């Protein structure tokens, strides 16, 4: 007697997988000195731009000064030189680690226990820190570079203030908009928004 196909027990097909072979993974190319310095400059420029943006917002809103790029280039230069000094100090520390690591065999006992196998990476980090410090100082000495940073900071500041004002106006809509004296009180409310809410926003974001 031949059993119908639907009564036959179906055998589960097993899929065999190969064991994970870490050596089969493609080797990641080490970053070059140029790539490392370029990445460092992007991060430094972003940090400086954000700090300049905060400086512009506080100077114009809290202290009531008209926007003048010359009022903020000094701040940008100061920040760039601070970052350059940090990179110089980092290069000195890495150079000291490099001297200890050269020729030292065995396994590391903690993350900063560098050995001979780490020498190439330490050299790259040291050279990148030296080159980055030099590039940051050059940018701090360039009036054109500083003005470009301030302009980008101004655009960021305008966007942030615009979003804050829109959020504040949305909060004032609804019941407030129905009041008969809405138009008469609008300038006072906007002034309160700038002096209270934006000042609090800047205090939260900048710490001053």
- The pTM score is 0.68
Q: What is the pLDDT of residues 94-136, one digit of tens each?
A: 999 999 988 888 888 888 888 889 999 999 999 999 999 999 9
Rounded Cα–Cα distance for residues 199 and 208 (Å): 9
Q: What is the pLDDT of residues 15-48, one digit of tens each?
A: 666 676 766 777 777 789 999 999 999 999 999 9
Rounded Cα–Cα distance for residues 48 and 131 (Å): 18
Residue 162 contacts by C-beta under 8 Å, 6 or more apart in sequence? none
Rounded Cα–Cα distance for residues 45 and 80 (Å): 8
Rounded Cα–Cα distance for residues 132 and 39 (Å): 10
Average pLDDT of span 177-192: 58
* Domain extents in the chain: 31-163
């Amino acid at each position: 007697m031949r059993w119908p196909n639907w009564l036959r027990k179906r055998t589960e097909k097993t899929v065999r997988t190969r064991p994970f072979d870490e050596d089969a993974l493609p080797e990641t190319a080490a970053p070059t000195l140029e790539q490392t310095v370029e990445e460092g400059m992007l991060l430094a420029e972003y940090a400086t731009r954000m700090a300049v943006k905060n400086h512009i917002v506080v100077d114009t809103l809290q202290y009531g000064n008209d926007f003048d790029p010359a009022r903020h280039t000094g701040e940008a230069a100061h920040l760039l030189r601070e970052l350059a000094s940090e990179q110089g100090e980092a290069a000195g520390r890495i150079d000291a680690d490099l001297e200890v690591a050269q020729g030292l065999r065995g396994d590391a006992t903690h993350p900063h226990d560098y050995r001979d196998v780490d020498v190439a990476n330490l050299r790259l980090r040291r050279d990148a820190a030296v080159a980055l410090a030099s590039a940051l100082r050059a940018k701090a000495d360039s009036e054109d570079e500083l003005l470009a940073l301030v302009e980008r900071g101004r655009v960021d500041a305008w966007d942030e203030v615009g979003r804050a004002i829109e959020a504040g106006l949305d909060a004032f809509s609804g019941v407030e908009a129905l009041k008969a004296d809405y138009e008469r009180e609008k300038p006072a409310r906007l002034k309160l928004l700038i002096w209270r809410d934006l000042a609090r926003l800047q205090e939260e974001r900048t710490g001053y």
